[in-house]
A and B are shown apart, each in its own frame.
Chain A
Amino acid sequence: GQQLNQSPQSMFIQEGEDVSMNCTSSSIFNTWLWYKQEPGEGPVLLIALYKAGELTSNGRLTAQFGITRKDSFLNISASIPSDVGIYFCAGRRGAQKLVFGQGTRLTINP
């Protein structure tokens, strides 16, 4: 099936640092979604992107739908301990089902 490559797989940062992660595909997508999963919980939607070039913020989180429609980026500014978790990207092409990336595990040192 379609694959999304998400990087990095894990990040270890200091509290207060900014975080960047991305998701790439060999196929064009028309929707990009970013989810966060905390231990023992299901993923929760953070940001949804529907148009190439779209830049959307949710508090300290900002996500962008790449111009080529083959990638998306998530940035977290001024990280805090509650940002810890696994972040997933997901993409959809046409009427096909969502495809998820492998996840980026974020660890924050206080």
Chain B
Amino acid sequence: NAGVTQTPKFQVLKTGQSMTLQCAQDMNHEYMSWYRQDPGMGLRLIHYSVGAGITDQGEVPNGYNVSRSTTEDFPLRLLSAAPSQTSVYFCASSYGTELYEQYFGPGTRLTVT
């Protein structure tokens, strides 16, 4: 099993550009989520999904969209990048709800100039 994979590992965007961060898991996990990690802030939940076709907002959803068309994939879209979105983004998945152990991907480091 590859576990949770994220691409790209690094990305630089200009303000206003759009892009999609990819996340995939091969563990047949129902629950997937996106976090951002900023210095001194810990991890903050952006969006999450409890299964294919179902998504919901987390703590900091503004500026981000998600979709879950398959169990395996949970892409995160930035519609119009802003410098405030410079961060490290982590995707995670777990068997059931997040009550079960969450497995994190290696992260995507995004810089918006």
Contact = CB atoms under 8 A, between A and B. Distances in A.
Given A42-B107, A45-B102, A97-B58, A88 B48 contact: no
Contacts of A45: 101-102
A42 B42 contact: no
A40 B40 contact: no
Interface residues on chain A, size class:
20 to 34
Given A1-B59, A97-B58, A98-B98, A43 B90 contact: yes
B76 interface: no
Contact of B48 (A1, A9, A43, A97): A97
Contacts of B101: 45, 48
A92 B86 CA distance: 27
A44 interface: yes
Given A42-B90, A45-B101, A100 B107 contact: no
The SS class assigned to the B binding surface is loop
The A interface, classified by DSSP as helix, strand, loop or mixed, is loop
Contacts of A44: 104
B51 to A, nearest CB: 16
B81 interface: no
Contacts of A101: 42
A103 interface: yes
B66 interface: no
Nearest to A4: B42
**Pairs of residues from A and B, 6 with the lowest C-beta to C-beta distance, nearest first:** A42-B104, A100-B42, A100-B43, A102-B42, A45-B101, A42-B90
7 contacts: A41-B106, A41-B107, A42-B105, A43-B104, A97-B98, A98-B45, A98-B102
